[in-house]
Structure formats: C-alpha cells, structure tokens
Amino acid sequence: MHLIDVQTGLLADNDAIAAENRAMLATRGIYALNVMSAPGAGKTSLLERLLPLLATRWRVAVIEGDIVGSADAERLAKLGLPVEQINTGGACHLDARMVHHGVHDVVHGPSDVLVFENVGNLVCPAEFDLGEDDAVMLLSVTEGHDKPKKYPLMFRRAGLLVLNKMDLLAMTDFDVEVAVAAARDVHPGIAVIRTSCRTGEGIAEVAAWVERRIAAKRGRPAPPSPKAG
C-alpha cells in the first residue's frame, strides 16, 4: 500500500505561493499583517479602530476573507481604505493562492501596509501562510481561557495576542492570567495587549506594536505612537 500525504502536498504548494507573495511585498517594502481569531472575537471591530491610526502615517489596504457575504468589507470600506473581498466558498481559511491576485494589486498600487482579515476559525487559518510578515491572534474574554492549550498552533503562529472585549470581563468567568500563562506556555515570546473596541482601551498599544514591526521591516526607528481617539 502506498500512502499519499495530501495535507503535506497541499501545504507545500501553499508555502511556495506564500513565498512568492512575500517576495513581491518585500520588493516594495510593504508590511503585511494576518489577523486571525474565532468567529465573533472582534477582528473587524479592532480594525475599525486600528486602521485609522495607521492610516495617519501609512497607505493601508485590506484583503477581507469570509466564507460568504461582504458585510465586514463594507464596514472597513467606510474608513476610506481600499478593501478587496474574498469569499472562500466554504473553505474555513484564506490561503496564499486566494490572496495572490490581491497581493499583486497592492504591490502595484500605492500601499505601505496590507492587512489580511482572515476567516473566523481557530484551526485552519494558522496552517496556511499567506506571505505575511506577522500574525495577530484575537482571543475575546467571552471565549474560554483554555483556548491556547486547545488550539496551540494558532497561538504559536502569532507574534501578538490581543485579549479583546475587556469591558465584558466582569460578566464572564474568563481568567486573564490563566489565558496569558497558557499562551506563553505554547509561545514564550508572544506579546499580549488587552483591548476593548467599545471603549478604545489598548488600541493605541496595538497600533504602537504594529508601528514597531513596520519600522523593523523598513530598518528605521519606530515613530511616536499614534493616539486613539
């Protein structure tokens, strides 16, 4: 019997296209960020707060991933930023091939920062490299603090863990310290920022983290942090 490892072949093909995406972005010095979470954790709400801060200094473009529909893309388009919608048609993640055309457009357009808002899922998005520089993982306090141990790859992939919906913490059994310890057990170097998209808590800190990552890619000091409104 000959066993065919379909998953390994699929990921190898994806990684080859992701490398091409990354190379295209690198030629123009465009910083790419992959934002991932479970459904409803607040990715779009975070971006509605974060992107206007980044847009004061950088030309920002968004590739929005959803299984169906365009509601999130329409929300972000109201910020006056270029947004491309990708419907995966049932796939629970974006992959490098899906975003390749959008990356090509960004490379040949006036952009400095490209944000991928991935499909809401705690498994598949972590397995597929898009060609990004960094990944951010949102975990809301309305979810379980045991998620890092249940879905370690997602937290291992992310450079930043955003603990979102802190304004609801008192109404949940979520234990912040347990969640942070679990995340750092699977990824010791992960940064953690607590946010509330309703109150604006922590948004400026997320912007500052992104600014430092952009500066690192461009080989220059990070500018002073923008202030949240």
Domain count across the chain:
1
Residue 1 inside a domain? The answer is no
Residue 24 inside a domain? The answer is yes
Q: Is 187 left (phi over 0), alpha (psi -120 to 50) or beta?
A: beta
Residue 224 inside a domain? The answer is no
Residue 228 inside a domain? The answer is no
Per-residue pLDDT of the chain (229 residues), as tens digits, is 544 444 566 789 999 999 999 999 999 999 999 999 999 999 999 999 999 999 999 999 999 999 999 999 999 999 999 999 999 998 999 999 999 999 999 999 999 999 999 999 999 999 999 999 999 999 999 999 999 999 999 999 999 999 999 999 999 999 999 999 999 999 999 999 999 999 999 999 999 999 999 999 988 666 665 565 4
Residue 229 inside a domain? The answer is no
Please tell me the distance from the alpha carbon of residue 13 to that of residue 165, in angstroms, as a whole number: 37
Contact indicator for 192, 180 with CB cutoff of 8 Å: yes
Which domain does 110 fall in, by range?
Answer: 6-218
Residue 223 inside a domain? The answer is no
Residue 107 inside a domain? The answer is yes
pTM of the prediction? 0.92
Residue 227 inside a domain? The answer is no
5 contacts: CB under 8 Å, gap ≥ 6: none
Q: What CATH code is carried by the domain that includes residue 194?
A: 3.40.50.300
